[in-house]
Amino acid sequence: MDSIIVTGNGPLHGEIPIAGAKNACLALMPATLLSEEPLTLTNAPRLSDIRTMTALLESLGAEVAPLQGGQVLALSSHAIDNHRADYEIVRKMRASILVLGPMLARDGQAVVSLPGGCAIGARPVDLHLRALEAMGAELDLRDGYVHARAPGGLKGATFEFPIVSVGATENALMAATLARGTTVLKNAAREPEIVDLAQCLRRMGAQIEGEGTSTITVQGVDRLGGATHPVVADRIELGTYMLAPAIAGGSVECIGGRMDLVAAFAEKLRETGVEVEQTERGLRVSRTGDRVRAANVVTEPFPGFPTDLQAQFMALMCIADGTAVLEERIFENRFMHAPELLRMGAQIDVHGGTATVTGVERLRGAPVMATDLRASVSLILAGLAAEGETVLSRVYHLDRGYESVESKLGACGARIERVKG
């Protein structure tokens, strides 16, 4: 099994290209199931989760051709011959549930295994199912599978999500494009990935209004066509690499970054004393002082501070001057990286959904283990500021969401290497 070795090596200087958003691409790919015509996605990230979604779509009869080294995905669902998404593929990734709405909307049937993914809490799919039921779907959960039918097609409906859910909003949005009549989704997620999906669906011929707000209105159409769509930049990768010079010192320009994608996060970085500025090519992040200041964080749905950047921000707070309180309000069990940071000399006290971090002047390199995707990269960031070697194992978590971490950080002066296991 591969491992990654990081040796603290002082300030970083250079530029890092930001890939297309994993979470956006994983919603865009199932959109191919809504149409018999081709869908082409550009700026696609080259990640193991994308390969998993490719395998899932191909198991349903879709064709997926990676072009230009995988940065372009050519998809076609002209001949869907299977409506069963099996456990062996779905268990690897929670986003697999996003094939449910499109298959049900287009063909009136779907059998989808309950999904797997990172072990960061229950993250149930009941909101997906309740939204589809509101549109007339007949659902039966048995033997670990969702058996869904809509013999007469889905019907427009008004549905209010009891809590904000990105995945459930995406599933309902895709299903609503082919439902008869008007669908109104209230308390919908507002994330950039939702906006990106709506823009792609509109290019395919969908009639959608309100994406990016809490109310999305969809007028169903009889059919969708093909389209070419660029995947939005990954705001979580962007925020992660913005933290690299904040932790190690120096100045790094994140190429393709946009302030509107990470406004709340950037404001919190500025609160620590780190400089963040928009450039013609992206975002430049610089740390010139010896230590950053501690800053409290509460994770919230977009446009608030992202839960997917909480672990990485904790790594920064481990070396901050003062004490920071990090409150996790999105997912339970999302402080599993804390014990690994403790191995590196951090001072962290976790009580339920709150972590209190008292900064130390220096972390120490140690053998550590990735527990989930975002935890894995938080430990790499911590290694940039640690004395000696940090050896990260179970890096398959990292490969689900970050492309070429070693080369991107290495190009800015980090001492980082992957060791094949």
Residues 316-348 pLDDT 10s: 999 999 999 999 998 777 899 999 999 999 999
For 137-162, how does the pLDDT look when each residue is reduced to its tens digit (9 = 90+)?
Answer: 999 998 889 999 999 999 999 999 99
Predicted local confidence at residue 79, as pLDDT: 86
Residue 117, pLDDT above cutoff 60: no
Name the residues annotated as catalytic: 118
207-225 pLDDT, tens digit per residue, is 999 999 999 999 999 999 9
pLDDT band at 289 (very low <50, low <70, confident <90, very high): confident
pTM of the model: 0.91
Task: State pLDDT tens for residues 54-81.
Answer: 999 999 999 999 999 999 999 999 989 9
Domain ranges of the chain: 3-17+233-419, 25-230
Binding site residue list for UDP-N-acetyl-alpha-D-glucosamine: 94, 123-127, 308, 330
Integer Rg of the chain from CA = 21
Q: Does the structure show a pLDDT above 60 at 86?
A: yes
Start-to-end C-alpha separation, the chain: 4
Q: Residues at the annotated binding site for phosphoenolpyruvate?
A: 22-23
* Residue 136 · residue 157 · CB < 8 Å: yes
Annotated binding site: 22-23, 94, 123-127, 308, 330
Please give the CATH topology (third level) of the domain spanning 25-230. UDP-n-acetylglucosamine1-carboxyvinyl-transferase; Chain (3.65.10)
More confident residue, 420 or 416: 416
The topology under which CATH files domain 3-17+233-419 is UDP-n-acetylglucosamine1-carboxyvinyl-transferase; Chain (3.65.10)
The predicted pLDDT at position 116 comes to: 57
- Cα gap 21→185, rounded to integer Å: 24
